Amino acid sequence: MRHQKTFAMRHKKTVRIATFLVLATVMTATAAGGASATPPPPTAPPVETTAQMETTAHIKGSAHLEYPVVADDIQVTVDARATFTKDSPWFPVRSEGTLRLSHTMVRPDGSSRTYWADMEVDCMTKGGPNATVTGRIVAASNNPKDANYPEDPFQKMLKDHVRMGMSFYVAGKGVGPSRVGLSGAADMTLSKCMAPAPYDKVLKGGFSLQS
């Protein structure tokens, strides 16, 4: 009798354990199935970095230009860069670089004198093979006046904080000469990136224009 009672108790305990295991298995499977049925959260679109939102342009080079006085030498040297954004694709948000204009005057006796002005670039724009650059004179030659040469004009321009603008047409290989246009001396009212059309032919040297 005692043996039968013990066997019955063990049998009930075994049934309870088996039932618990079955329920646990069913609940686990249900939870797993529910989780797999839930769609994943939407993927956020990639965020563009500042570098990806910006484009740049760069003009660099040096050239000797056509001039009415054949013996004289006019030379322009430029190294200017500009940065554009999606919100400002045509007008730069940043510009930097240097621009030099020099004029060497040659006298009949063979002597010569060079007048020059260096400008700090404050604006550069680009469109196709064309670019415009403006800047303020920050350094200049200081040649004395004498019987053969006039007073150095760039010294006064330096003192007056004169700004100048230049335009560049960078011709492709075999499609004609490149050209440069010069605004001449202008006061501080000269707008940024404003310059006349390029008209003086490049006789020697040249420029590279990249974007």
Note whether 211 and 68 are within 8 A (CB): no
List the chain pLDDT tens, one digit each, 211 residues: 444 444 444 444 444 444 444 434 444 444 444 445 566 666 655 555 555 689 999 999 999 999 999 999 999 999 999 999 999 999 999 999 999 999 999 888 888 999 999 999 999 999 999 999 999 999 999 999 888 888 898 998 998 889 999 999 999 888 889 999 998 777 667 899 999 999 999 999 999 999 8
- Tokens read off for 138: 């920050």
Q: Say which amino acid occupies 74.
A: I
What's the pLDDT at 46?
A: 59
CB neighbours of residue 101 within 10 Å = 22
pTM over 0.85: no
| CA 10 to centroid of chain Cα atoms | 84
